[in-house]
Amino acid sequence: MLKQLYIRNFTLIDTLDIHFNPGFSVITGETGAGKSIILGAINLLLGQRADVKSIKSNSSKCVIEAHFDISRYNMQDFFTENNIDFDDTDCILRRELNSSGKTRSFINDTPVALNLMRTLGQQLIDIHSQHQNLLLNEEDFQLNVVDIIAKDRELLIKYKEHFNAYKDAKKAVDRLCKEIEENKKNEDYIRFQLKELTEAELKDGMQEELERESEKLSHVEEIKTALYSAGTSLNSYESDNNVLDKVKEASRSIIGITSIYPEISSISDRLESCFIELKDISDEINSEADNIEFDPSRLEQINSQLDKIYSLEQKYHVSNIADLINIQNNLEKQISNIDNSDEELDKLKSEEARLLKECEAIASKLTEIRTKASKVIEQEMRNRLIPLGIPNVRFSIKIENKNISEDGHDRISFLFSANTSTPVQPVAQVASGGEIARVMLSLKAMISGAVKLPTIIFDEIDTGVSGKIAEKMGDIMQEMGKANRQVISITHLPQIAAKGTTHYKVFKEETEHGTSSRMLILSKDERTKEIAQMLSGSEISDAAINNAKELLKTL
């Protein structure tokens, strides 16, 4: 329930701080007094787009804040899920708009994204304005009404889960079909590429190994010369240059004195080790020199393989064999998909068909429940519309089959006729403005109990009606307000204004800062005068006062 509304620096409003009561309240005021401004401010709390022009002239910021009592509506989960402080007796929504165009949104003083405020706001207030009568022409609205009365929410959630799975399966089939089509278009080229890469017999590390071998074979003479020179230095046939003989000779000399000079024995051991190591090195050098030979045919073969690898890398825009192997693997998968595509496609189509069958089964249950609910709605609407001055009303709901979609396979149409001689047709096409207003009020009254919105605001829903019909519409809103619900009606009709338990008036006044809109709660006497003025115009007669008092007695 809306407890308090605070508005500052919004269009013509300097400051407005007004408290609201439970039950049925009415708001009256002359055209242009500012009723739509107040609604516009509330709409900002419901996530509507903000316009910097809404800020009052010469002000840098406007603020709209509303306090709600949500203690009857079990909303704690929303606050817990979004990490927002919870106070069920004082839930605060605030929106600020700066002259720079920047807006900020708060729930219980916690900054939030606008879409989160919109989500909460739509659970707190339903504003029915005149343009919402156009909803009668929208299939989604009509289907939603039926679903509310059918109380099929759990089944609808289950259906949507299955439908989403079916959509995913269908997308998988479509995606594979597209891939198959594209692959078949390119099959010859893919096979050519795969053959080219397969024949190259690519292996990890192959390129580096071939490059090393090519480098070695290209410098055989240089390598043999270096090895020969090193080997000759170590073990020359000329005794003066033989390093090994000299080390051996030095070792013998040291060994000869170890018995009389034991301190030198360690050097003797080291010399012996050096001789052994140098002898091994000499033998290995000689062996390497004998083994390495220039093989021009092998070098040509290696360079040919490398040229092929380099050419493939350039062709496929990669820099190493690993990337070429990845491309080869992908090509193999594509060929495998082409060769096995029919089997995979049959499997996916089978899954798609299974999920579609499940969706259709649940959709059929939805149709059954909606059909039963439609009969209830038809009778309820007749019961409500006859007292509202349409004695010969016929209201029926047509349910047609449509392609399966996210809400089932039912196409809903509300059909209406106000006369026995006129066939029923879509309500938005045949009902007058006044009749549409009565149809919408009846629908709202019927579904409001199921939806359990804390606050419902009717913005001139009485357009096109008057007299006894207006009084009956007032009775309906009064009845709605008694069912633990807050109903607020903005009206120009005294018959409806007299039904409210609380009466607010919106008016303009001139101040030293210019024109300003204000809103007040009327006392009993002020209310009598206001209703009398609505009855007779600017000149309030005694008869109008008496009529106003009579209307107020109906409370």
Cα radius of gyration rounded to whole Å, the chain: 46
What residue ranges define each of the domains in the chain, with the CATH number in brackets? 1-129+451-522 (3.40.50.300), 152-360 (no CATH)
Whole-number pLDDT of residue 130:
64
Q: What is the mean pLDDT of the chain?
A: 87
Q: What is the mean pLDDT of residues 515-526?
A: 90
Which segment of 171-185, 279-293, 520-534 scores lowest on mean pLDDT? 279-293
Residues 6+ away with beta carbon under 8 Å from 414: 136, 142, 395, 397, 426, 427, 439
Whole-number pLDDT of residue 261:
85
For 9-57, what is each residue's pLDDT tens digit?
999 898 999 999 999 999 999 888 888 899 999 999 998 888 888 898 8
Q: Which long-range contacts (CB under 8 A, 24 or more apart) does 337-343 make?
A: 337/179, 337/180, 337/183, 338/180, 338/183, 338/184, 338/187, 338/190, 341/176, 341/179, 341/180, 341/183
- Return the ∠ at Cα 547 (arms to 544 and 550), rounded to 5°: 155
Beta strand pairing call for 2-10 and 455-459: unpaired
Amino acid at 367: T
For 103-118, what is each residue's pLDDT tens digit?
999 999 999 999 999 9
At 162, the pLDDT band (50, 70, 90 cuts) reads very high
Structure tokens at 80: 């817990």
Element (H, E) at 523: none
Whose CA is closest to 359, among 156, 541, 150? 156
For 456-507, what is each residue's pLDDT tens digit?
899 888 777 778 888 899 888 988 888 678 999 999 899 999 999 999 999 9
Interaxial angle between packed helices 433-451 and 139-150, expressed in degrees from 0 to 180 and rounded to the nearest 10: 40
How many Cβ atoms sit within 10 Å of the Cβ of residue 238?
8
Residues 6+ away with beta carbon under 8 Å from 536: 543, 544
Whole-number pLDDT of residue 184:
77
CB of 473 within 8 A of CB of 480?
A: no
Q: What is the mean pLDDT of residues 308-330?
A: 89
Q: What is the mean pLDDT of residues 438-445?
A: 89
72 pLDDT above the threshold of 90: no
Whole-number pLDDT of residue 178:
87
How far is 487 from 125, CA to CA, in rounded Å? 10
Q: Which residues of 200-224 are buried (b: 16+ CB within 10 A; e: fewer)?
A: bebeeebbeebeebbeebeeeeebb
At 173, the pLDDT band (50, 70, 90 cuts) reads very high
Q: What is the mean pLDDT of residues 93-105?
A: 92
How far is 192 from 511, CA to CA, in rounded Å? 87
At 131, the pLDDT band (50, 70, 90 cuts) reads low
238 pLDDT above the threshold of 60: no
The 8-class DSSP code of residue 28 comes to E
For 322-350, what is each residue's pLDDT tens digit?
899 999 998 888 888 777 778 888 999 99
The 8-class DSSP code of residue 50 comes to P
133 pLDDT above the threshold of 70: no
Whole-number pLDDT of residue 264:
86
